Amino acid sequence: MKPILDWSVYRDAGMGDAYADIPKSGGDFARAVAVCINARQCEKKGKGVMCPSYRVSDSPALSTGGRVRLLKQALNGKLSIADHALAEAMELCLACKGCKRECENEVDMAMIKIEYLAQRYLQQTPSPRTRMLAAMPQLLERHAWMQRLISLRNKHALLARAGEMFAGISADVSVPEAAIQSYAMQNSATQVEPVPPTTQFQAEVVLLLDSFSNHFAPQNISAAKKVLEMAGYRVFISRAEIGELPLCCGRTQLAHGLVDDARANAKRMLAALLPHVEAGRTVIGLEPACLLAVRDDYRFLGLGEGAEQVAAASLLFEEFIARESVAGRFKLAFAPVASPTPLLIHGHCHQKAVGAMKSMRRVLKLIPGLQFDIIDSTCCGMAGSFGIEKEHVAMGRAMAEESLLPALRASPTAGIVANGFSCRHQINACEQREAKHLAVLLCEQLA
Ligand code: SF4
Ligand code: SF4
């Protein structure tokens, strides 16, 4: 097998270790798989997010190590890459990156799954549903009728049934509806308002306008921009050239293994971000999966030095505010909160994977009097589009029932903060409650 992604960061993994058990084919990809030492720590329970599909199934084949065991057989030529058990094990990996953080050897199954899917597509074309879900940001941009169709589908059971029959989208769950106007449409004029040359700023930053915030939650971008500006930062918004499709990090294509499509989007994104980074601006992302695609996943796409430069300058919104606050540069005052019930915080799996919940805690403490509980939850089960796919909806719900939904029900009047777009949708789909992004909470509490 010739790897499709760039796995060169694993080139020295297992070198000189007679017990490394590196598969015979697959080159650096095989080394990335072989960092698993098969000690089966991942088959023990009660370890935070790792591994949601194992937690709800109790099947060793659906643990991180179980997937590795099957993959090694395939790379050693003992199993077809299309083998049913292997295909199912990979299909039921939610790419949550829980293993990247919690496995004793940091197995990165989320990236391994992308390589696996890309290899499968060399033999078999992706399904129409895969293509549709992967291209959703571009479809929404090009075809305004898609938004109307989704809205109608959510209102009429017959249409939802048709969607399940023909597109494989479960009729039992709502589908996220885009805002009437995307952020880019609402703010099409200029990248940044002209400022008098004498104006002093703390620093200049660029907000990553990801496809989810742009199409589904433009209020999050507006809120983050306002908070940062009130704190004294000059805020640019990442944008495509006038007349071109809005930028997209390519997360949806990566998640579905469409590497070439993702790389094309990543190149456009990098071309737009690099001048900002060269001007000394930090790239700030609101949607964990998108910012971390830019920071962590692009290095597997072979995009060169520019990708490294942008990655080194990229932070999640909460990481940026926490860093600036510790450094004494972020001094914004927030209005006190006197809520009888603690606010509930649900972390996106990718936030947890990079340790960003510490930053969330630090930023929330900037609001005087705010009581909050960070829910000790595994993946919410939505994981991009996983939780709306007809064959996965039940498993996604079971993951949500592990800890997230019981915690929400135990506090029926509490406010909820969730920075992940799909987490917010799962909370709404299962409990009919609205969760908000941290940026919106901070904006509401501006003194
Ligand atoms: S995936 Fe990680 S935790 Fe699981 S067996 Fe392999 S090394 Fe151990
Ligand atoms: S990425 Fe998440 S779902 Fe996939 S193997 Fe790792 S912990 Fe399990």
CA nearest ligand 2 atom 2, residue: 96
Is any ligand 1 atom within 6 A of the Cβ of residue 228? no
Q: Can you give the three-state secondary structure of 252-280, one letter per residue?
A: HHHHCCCHHHHHHHHHHHHHHHHHHHHCC
Checking if the pLDDT of 194 tops 70, the result is no
Of 366, 358, 331, 335, the residue nearest 228 (C-alpha): 331
pLDDT bucket at 373, cuts 50 / 70 / 90: very high
At the topology level, CATH places domain 8-120 in Fumarate Reductase Iron-sulfur Protein; Chain B, domain 2 (1.10.1060)
Checking if the pLDDT of 206 tops 90, the result is yes
pLDDT bucket at 144, cuts 50 / 70 / 90: confident
Checking if the pLDDT of 407 tops 90, the result is yes
User: Which stretch of 109-113, 139-143, 410-414 has the lowest confidence by average pLDDT?
Assistant: 139-143
Instruction: Report the pLDDT averaged over residues 69-93.
Output: 97
CA nearest ligand 2 atom 5, residue: 64
Is any ligand 2 atom within 6 A of the Cβ of residue 22? no
Contact 442, 334 (CB under 8 A): yes
* For the CA of 38, the nearest ligand: 1
Token pair, residue 426, equals: 């799962």
Question: Which of 45, 57, 99, 352 has most ligand 2 atoms within 8 Å of CB, for mutation?
Answer: 99
* pLDDT value, residue 245: 83
More confident residue, 128 or 195: 128
Instruction: Report the pLDDT averaged over residues 1-10.
Output: 96
* For the CA of 105, the nearest ligand: 1
Extended beta strands in 26-142, E state:
none
Is any ligand 1 atom within 6 A of the Cβ of residue 40? yes
Cβ contacts of residue 12 below 8 Å, gap of 6+?
none
* pLDDT value, residue 307: 97
Distance 403 CA to ligand 1 centre (A): 23
* pLDDT value, residue 46: 63
Checking if the pLDDT of 107 tops 70, the result is yes
Distance 52 CA to ligand 2 centre (A): 7
Is any ligand 1 atom within 6 A of the Cβ of residue 65? yes
Q: What does the mean pLDDT of the chain come to?
A: 93
Is any ligand 2 atom within 6 A of the Cβ of residue 133? no
* pLDDT value, residue 14: 82
* pLDDT value, residue 69: 97
Instruction: Report the pLDDT averaged over residues 211-224.
Output: 96
* pLDDT value, residue 18: 75
Is any ligand 2 atom within 6 A of the Cβ of residue 95? yes
* pLDDT value, residue 246: 86
* pLDDT value, residue 204: 96
Checking if the pLDDT of 198 tops 70, the result is no
Please report the atom of ligand 1 found closest to the CA of residue 106. Answer: 2
* For the CA of 33, the nearest ligand: 1
* pLDDT value, residue 241: 80
What pTM was estimated for this model as a whole? Answer: 0.94
* For the CA of 63, the nearest ligand: 2
Could you tell me the residue ranges of all domains in the chain? 8-120, 128-167, 193-326, 343-444
Question: Which residue type, as a one-letter code, is found at position 148?
Answer: R
* pLDDT value, residue 48: 58
Calculate what percentage of the chain has a pLDDT beyond 90.
Answer: 84
pLDDT bucket at 47, cuts 50 / 70 / 90: low
Checking if the pLDDT of 196 tops 80, the result is no
User: Which stretch of 23-32, 139-148, 158-167 has the lowest confidence by average pLDDT?
Assistant: 139-148
pLDDT bucket at 185, cuts 50 / 70 / 90: confident
297-355 per-position pLDDT tens digit? 999 999 999 999 999 999 999 999 999 999 999 999 999 997 778 999 999 999 999 99
User: Which stretch of 139-153, 160-174, 183-197, 388-402 has the lowest confidence by average pLDDT?
Assistant: 183-197
Q: What angle do CA 271, 275, 278 make, to 5 degrees?
A: 130
267-305 per-position pLDDT tens digit? 999 999 999 999 999 999 999 999 999 999 999 999 999
Token pair, residue 420, equals: 């992940």
Token pair, residue 321, equals: 């505010």
